[in-house]
Structure 1
Amino acid sequence: MNYFIVGDVHGCFYTLKKILKHWKKGEEQLIFVGDYINKGRNSKDVVFHIRKLCETYPDTVCIKGNHEYKMVKYIRENTQPSQMKDNYSRTLKYYSMKLLHQDIEWMHCLPLYYENDVIYVSHAGVNWLNFRKFSTESSWCVLRYRGKLKRMNKLQVIGHTPTESGKPEYDKKRNVLNIDTGAGNYEHLSAIRINKHGKLVDTFMERVVDEDKYE
């Protein structure tokens, strides 16, 4: 089976629907690299849609991003909106209390990585020292690391840090493919198709649509 892997969505619901038109439902495993919320204006709709996809296609994998991790912390620690970063407090304005706590529980349970024989998917990647990679409060963690990554004997797919080119970028030396192309900055949302051997087959990009932007 091939894999269809989607980069950081950041609340861009209408753009997400466009990128998913390239996904071959039932033929490819759907994987998300995390950061479903904040920055774009439709975080609640993104989470609702992805959760529905998980119900319909149980092999779908949703990796936890640093934005989900931080939102869970804010809510569980009863942080006041005035004390949150603007992205988070703005997202919460669109939530009812009941739906919020359902989504927070979902975010809390998301895995930090997905691995099989040919791919390793996490939000930010495994640091080159393999150091504190799952220590969630650490800057070395796969949630938030920015820097040189570990080379693995399989393709490592990440998001988190928008690429300089604005396109998915492959680091041959490290065997890492970064697919964050700046949806959170209202640039592009990207997805890739990886075959069963862990090789890149196709790349897809959709420019963020106006409906996903704050005015």
Structure 2
Amino acid sequence: MTKDNIFVVGDVHGCYHTFMELLNNHWNRNNELLIQLGDLIDRGNFSPEVVDFSRALQNDPETEAVFLAGNHEYLAINHYKGDMNEAWFYNGGVETLRQFSKSSIGFEEAAQWFSELPLFWENEHVFVSHAGIGENGNLDNPYDLNGILWNRGTLKNIGKLQIIGHTPQRDGKPKFFTESNAYCIDTGAYLNLALTGIRISSDGTVLDMVQVPTKDIDLEPLSYAV
């Protein structure tokens, strides 16, 4: 199935209702490939719902959707493998585990799906990953702190448009880095700012940038009965 355009969505972080509004109002599933660049989980109220929906969308024969791994998915994978990673607990992991304990989708099932997610997507003109190709990063090692899941340094200009997330833009606006020809579209959904999607053609031409302000329900305190 070949789509005319590509619609890339930034870090969702458990903000299910915000994610749904962005897709329902701005993604044309009939002629756009959807790419979500990682960090589906943690910090928001609905990590299991985001995962469940994303898995269903990935498996829907009527659409074309690619979900990439983010560093939060790998923190969860490490926990599933027995690494009691306090860094994950401090960054939303405790609440995420609680959410999965009350969900129809189990944490183990989610972690196994995370482990199957690719680290990047590319064509001749576009490269999408969670944190981007840095000057000294390893493209294939998900545990390299300078690699494409963790990098927060300067990006290389690789001769393609890079689209990344990972580092939230505190003004809630996507940022273009001219020297590296890269967009960061993590606009702080979990910071009660916005979730961003960027629409591009297959040759890397930016066609549109859209945003949905974070929905209150995705972050406000909820009863455990919800």
| Matched residues, number | 213
Tell me the residue number matched to 2:58.
54
Of 139, 162, 181, which aligns to 1:133? 139
Residue in structure 1 matched with residue 157 of structure 2 by the alignment: 151
* Structure 2 residue runs without a partner (length 5+): 222-226
Question: RCO (CA 8 Å, sep 6+): is it higher in 1 or 2?
Answer: 1
Which moves more between the two structures, 94-103 or 7-16?
94-103
State the TM-score, normalized to the length of structure 1: 0.93
Aligned pairs for 1:74-93 within 5 A:
74-77=79-82, 79=84, 84-85=89-90, 87-93=92-98
Residue equivalent to 2:129: 122
- The within-5 A match list for 1:36-51 is 36-51=40-55
2:210 aligns to what SS in structure 1?
strand
Q: How many angstroms apart in 1 are the aligned matches of 2:38 and 2:118?
A: 10
Q: CA-to-partner distance for each residue in 1:63-110, whole Å, 9 max, x for gaps?
A: 1000000001012116399x9335101111121486221111100111
Q: Which runs of 5+ in 1 are unaligned?
A: none
Give the 3 Å change call, closer, same or farther, for CA 137–28 of structure 1 in structure 2.
Answer: same
Give the alignment partner of residue 107 of structure 2, picking from 96, 100, 103.
100
Separation in structure 2 between the aligned mates of residue 55 and residue 73 of structure 1, nearest angstrom: 25
Q: 1:127 touches 1:133 (CA, 8 Å); kept in 2? A: no
Answer yes or no: is the 8 Å Cα contact 2:6–2:200 preserved in 1: yes
Which residue of 2 is the match for residue 172 of structure 1?
178
Contact 1:74 1:84 in 2 (8 A): no
**Structure 1 SS opposite 2:110:** helix
User: Is contact 1:19–1:189 with CA below 8 Å preserved after alignment?
Assistant: yes
* Contact map agreement 2:187 2:194 (CA 8 A) in 1: yes
Distance of aligned partners of 1:111 and 1:80 in 2 relative to their CA distance in 1, 3 Å threshold: closer
Q: Map of 1:24-35 to 2, 5 A cutoff?
A: 24-35=28-39
Overall identity of the aligned pairs, in %: 35
For 1:72, the equivalent position in structure 2 comes to: 77
RMSD over aligned Cα atoms: 1.9
Confirm or deny: 8 A CA contact 1:120 1:156 kept in the other structure. Answer: yes
Give the structure 1 partner of residue 198 of structure 2.
Answer: 192
Measured in 1, the distance between the counterparts of 2:116 and 2:187 equals 26
Match of 1:11 among 2, 11, 14: 14
